[in-house]
Amino acid sequence: MSASAKRNLGAETAKGEILAFIDDDAKADRGWLENLIEPFRDRSVAVVSGPNFTPKEATFRERCSGNVLSSFNANASMVRRYLPDGRGPREAIDSDIILCNMAIRKETFKEIRGFDAALYPCEENLLCHQVKQKNGRLFYNPFAVVYHHRRPILLPHLRQVYTYGKGRGKMVGRCRDSFRILHVIPSAFTLFVTTGLVLSVLTMTGVLESPLAATWFKIVMSLYLLWVVYGGIEVAVQESSVKAFFAYVVTVFFHHIAYGLGFMTGVITRK
């Protein structure tokens, strides 16, 4: 039985009006449940979520994973799931919602027919997309905090990011109206890197004369490296560690590649 099927089974037996979800490797902060439920005072609110932070007792490699997830340079708008939000409670979109820290009205959950048991991960995002289609409101409360275990860098982190991309790809493949340009950028980057490397090798070996393409590849990759290095400097200052800088720079590159490959795989295998 999939994790989503187990959650659906738990929702069927639950007696309350609000269903709250948290992962078995997450720890709730003080006042988590009260803050998570408070926005439901507004009857138009259907789903509420909050951030998940890296545990304070995390190892160095786990913190490096958390640094990537919570960096805009690496994770774009997805960082809202992993960072404090100084703006306070607000309206949300499906990418703000994460299943390790989420609550939903039981009546809404039943109307949507629960999580898609065949989709993992991203099942909460598909559910939220369906809620929005029925004019339900999504809400984000930064004070509803959980501390969530991180997969250490490098391979465990990349495997997780690959599955994130694959889940989003399956969702977009099924629900075309859920597509956002942000979703496809890592895949485009992956194809660009692959094509650029092949052209560069062929040009250097004399098999192909394409100096202009090789030059553009170097320019774009240099700009990308500067972008990643800037994020790495922020992390190094935050961690007071040069080692954290190099771990960040290496991980971010493969993070983007892993998500891009996962997204393409998900779109292809969406059925």
* Nearest residue to 125 (alpha-carbon basis) of 161, 79, 178: 178
169 CB-near residues (< 8 Å, 6+ apart)? 183, 262, 263, 264, 265, 266, 267, 268, 270
Give 186's pLDDT tier (boundaries 50, 70, 90): very high
For residues 85 and 116, the model is more confident at 116
Question: How far is it, in rounded angstroms, from Cα 2 to Cα 54?
Answer: 26
The percentage of the chain sitting over the pLDDT mark of 90, rounded to a whole number, equals 63
Give 201's pLDDT tier (boundaries 50, 70, 90): confident
User: Is residue 210 scored above 70 in pLDDT?
Assistant: no
| pLDDT tens digits along 42-70 | 999 999 999 999 999 999 999 999 999 99
User: Is residue 160 scored above 70 in pLDDT?
Assistant: yes
Record: fold of 3-151: Spore Coat Polysaccharide Biosynthesis Protein SpsA; Chain A (3.90.550)
Per-residue model confidence (pLDDT) at position 57: 93
Per-residue model confidence (pLDDT) at position 2: 80
8 A C-beta contact, residue 147 and residue 51: no
Query: Domain residue spans in the chain?
Result: 3-151, 174-268
Per-residue model confidence (pLDDT) at position 73: 87
Most confident of 118-122, 133-137, 262-266: 262-266
8 A C-beta contact, residue 104 and residue 130: no
Rounded to 5°, the CA angle 97-129-86 comes to: 30
| pLDDT tens digits along 22-47 | 999 999 999 999 999 999 999 999 99
Per-residue model confidence (pLDDT) at position 86: 65
User: Is residue 188 scored above 90 in pLDDT?
Assistant: yes
8 A C-beta contact, residue 95 and residue 77: yes
Q: What is the residue-averaged pLDDT of the chain?
A: 90
Q: What is the pTM of this model?
A: 0.88
User: Is residue 87 scored above 80 in pLDDT?
Assistant: no
DSSP the chain: --HHHHHHHHHHH--SSEEEEE-TTEEEPTTHHHHHHGGGGSTTEEEEE--EEPPTT--HHHHHHHHHHT-HHHHGGGGGGTS--TT-SEE--GGG--TTEEEEEHHHHHHHTS--TT--S-HHHHHHHHHHHTTPEEEE-TTS-EEE--PPTTHHHHHHHHHHHHHHHHHHHH-GGG--HHHHHHHHHHHHHHHHHHHHHHHHTTS---HHHHHHHHHHHHHHHHHHHHHHHHHHHHHT-HHHHHHHHHHHHHHHHHHHHHHHHHHHT--
For the segment 212-238, the average pLDDT, to the nearest whole number, is: 90
For residues 119 and 250, the model is more confident at 250
8 A C-beta contact, residue 11 and residue 109: yes
Per-residue model confidence (pLDDT) at position 217: 84
Per-residue model confidence (pLDDT) at position 185: 92
Per-residue model confidence (pLDDT) at position 27: 95
